[in-house]
Amino acid sequence: MKNSEITIIGGGVIGASVAYHLTEMGANDVLILEREAEQGKGSTGKATGGVRAQFETEINIKMSLYSIGFFTKFNELIGVDCGYEPRGYLFFATEENQFDYLKKNVEKQKSLGVKGVKIVDTKTISEIAKGLNCEDIIGGSFGANDGFINSLGVMEGFTEKSKENGAKILMETEVFSIETANSKVKFVETNRGKIETKTVVICAGAWARDLVKTTGIDLPVEPLKRQIVWAKSEKNLPENLPMVIDLGSGFHFRPVRDSKTEVLFAYPEADEKPSFNTDFDESFIEKIYKRAKYRAPFLAETNVVREKCRAGLYENTPDHHAILGGCAIEGLYFASGFSGHGVMHSPATGRALAEIILEGKANFLDVSCLSLERFTKGKLLHETAFI
Ligand SMILES: Cc1cc2nc3c(=O)[nH]c(=O)nc-3n(C[C@H](O)[C@H](O)[C@H](O)COP(=O)(O)OP(=O)(O)OC[C@H]3O[C@@H](n4cnc5c(N)ncnc54)[C@H](O)[C@@H]3O)c2cc1C
């Protein structure tokens, strides 16, 4: 039987960040198990690459503040380009209650130290996102330090640095179960046999629930398909487009990195049911172009780059917040359920888990409100602006 002190299940951006932070803090026997032949095949490789501090809850805002700060020094610390580009996030409102919500959030964000975030009027919105149909827009909010990151770059950077620090990664290694005795982790069963371990960190993205069920614990994480259309315009897109989001419908778009003509756009389909289906649905193209035609005619004039369109899985929890930390089983920890924000929150998550495992609690930021216990204690969080 092989053994390792700390075993991380899942080699996406979260597993990589947890490994990096553990090894930076001195853990020297860290093993990542990834079932695929290469990393990034889960949600990390499907992400839009957005990062924002414009959230409603204090914990999400603080996780973002820490993470954006980390991305600004990522290249220097890790030696890999994470692609952080502060191009901004523009949320717009078409109804008074949405605008009030943005105003309230901006006040909270500012009070927690978010810089460069402000309420904007319709005229300013039309200047930030030229070509946007603003006829029904009543206002919005703009965060100048929000923007884009390269999801795979972040994952690769964390992985490489953790390997330099001594972590190991075993590919094509699927974990079937986590075995416990006397409420303590003993070993994990894999397609390569048993691996003895005292500590398991669940970083298995949308697939975490079934795995955790082998310990008798229910981790409320549901997979939900999200699709992205990739398109190319014959003329240049309006300059300096940020991420643009309709708060009411969740319709959003962003320019492709280093391209003047390519754009990604998406919206959450309200009737999507939880499943592991990641087939891109052709009918989505027609539905989204209908929205694009009204909101941004320059998007409607683009041509779909079919081979780059994709569908991936959000890993949703009932309150759209991550589940971080330990549980009743000694040695079992979760970094799961990011509900669409795992890439942007990966630095804060990695540090939180490393501190919880090695020091007993996250000292740099109190993440106790994200514990699994909140679901049994009825202490759910509330965030409306999930997209
Ligand atoms: C369309 C789309 C757009 C998104 N846009 C953004 C965005 O703009 N910004 C943002 O921050 N987030 C975004 N997200 C969310 C983000 O992609 C995820 O929150 C993040 O990638 C989660 O990382 P992870 O490492 O937990 O999961 P994953 O990247 O899914 O990694 C989990 C890994 O675990 C492995 N695994 C699973 N089960 C096992 C097992 N039993 N044994 C071994 N290995 C196993 C999988 O193979 C996988 O590699 C988006 C997601 C989607 C689908």
152-193 pLDDT, tens digit per residue, is: 999 999 999 999 999 999 999 999 999 999 999 999 999 999
Q: What percent of the chain has pLDDT over 90?
A: 96
Task: Establish whether residue 257 lines the binding site of ligand 1, counting it when its CB lies within 6 angstroms of any ligand atom.
Answer: no
271 shares its domain with 137: yes
282-313 pLDDT, tens digit per residue, is: 999 999 999 999 999 999 999 999 999 999 99
Burial status of residue 278 (CB atoms within 10 A of its CB: 0-12, 13-18, 19 or more): middle
Task: Establish whether residue 50 lines the binding site of ligand 1, counting it when its CB lies within 6 angstroms of any ligand atom.
Answer: yes
Q: End of a domain among 276, 299, 316? A: 316
* Helices 13-24 & 151-164 angle (0-180, nearest 10): 30
Q: What is the CATH number of the domain that holds 332?
A: 3.50.50.60
Q: End of a domain among 279, 300, 316? A: 316
Task: Establish whether residue 31 lines the binding site of ligand 1, counting it when its CB lies within 6 angstroms of any ligand atom.
Answer: no
Question: Is 386 contained in some domain?
Answer: no
Among 307, 325, 336, smallest CA distance to 371 is for 325
36 shares its domain with 8: yes
Domain count, the chain: 2
Q: Which domain holds residue 9?
A: 2-47+152-221+318-376
29-55 pLDDT, tens digit per residue, is: 999 999 999 999 999 999 999 999 999
Q: What is the CATH number of the domain that holds 274?
A: 3.30.9.10
Task: Establish whether residue 41 lines the binding site of ligand 1, counting it when its CB lies within 6 angstroms of any ligand atom.
Answer: yes
In angstroms, how far is CA 214 from the centroid of its own chain? 25
Ligand 1 centroid to Cα of residue 231, in Å, is 23
Question: Is 66 contained in some domain?
Answer: no
Question: Is 113 contained in some domain?
Answer: yes
Q: Mean pLDDT, to the nearest integer, of 360-364?
A: 97
Report the chain's C-alpha Rg in angstroms.
Answer: 21
Among 263, 369, 353, smallest CA distance to 49 is for 263
Please identify which residue in the block is written with the tokens 């795995």.
211
Ligand 1 centroid to Cα of residue 56, in Å, is 23
Q: End of a domain among 316, 332, 354? A: 316
53-70 pLDDT, tens digit per residue, is: 999 999 999 999 999 999
Q: What percent of the chain has pLDDT over 70?
A: 99
124 shares its domain with 239: yes
For 181, other C-beta atoms within 10 Å of its C-beta total: 8
The whole-number pLDDT of residue 3 equals: 85
Nearest CA owner, ligand 1 atom 21: 44
253 shares its domain with 301: yes
The whole-number pLDDT of residue 289 equals: 95
Counting ligand 1 atoms within 8 A of each CB, the residue from 32, 44, 85, 89 with the most, and so the one to mutate, is 44
The whole-number pLDDT of residue 386 equals: 65
User: Ramachandran region of residue 216, left (φ > 0), alpha (ψ -120 to 50) or beta?
Assistant: left
Q: How far apart are CA 291 and CA 309, in angstroms?
A: 17
Question: Is 59 contained in some domain?
Answer: no
290 shares its domain with 244: yes
193-249 pLDDT, tens digit per residue, is: 999 999 999 999 999 999 999 999 999 999 999 999 999 999 999 999 999 999 999
169 shares its domain with 25: yes
130 shares its domain with 179: no
Question: Is 277 contained in some domain?
Answer: yes
183 shares its domain with 298: no
Question: Is 65 contained in some domain?
Answer: no
Ligand 1 centroid to Cα of residue 73, in Å, is 23
Please, which pLDDT band fits residue 335 given cuts at 50, 70 and 90?
A: very high
Task: Establish whether residue 243 lines the binding site of ligand 1, counting it when its CB lies within 6 angstroms of any ligand atom.
Answer: no
Q: How far apart are CA 159 and CA 62, in angstroms?
A: 24
For 113, other C-beta atoms within 10 Å of its C-beta total: 10
217 shares its domain with 157: yes
Tokens found for residue 253: 């778009």
DSSP secondary structure letters along 329-375: SBTEEEEE--TT-TTTTHHHHHHHHHHHHHHSS-SSS--GGGSTHHH
Q: Is residue 363 within 8 Å of 211, Cβ to Cβ?
A: no
Question: Is 192 contained in some domain?
Answer: yes
259 shares its domain with 368: no
Question: Is 171 contained in some domain?
Answer: yes
Among 186, 194, 205, smallest CA distance to 18 is for 205
Q: Mean pLDDT, to the nearest integer, of 85-99?
A: 97
166 shares its domain with 306: no
pLDDT exceeds cutoff 70 at 385: no
Nearest CA owner, ligand 1 atom 2: 47
329 shares its domain with 265: no
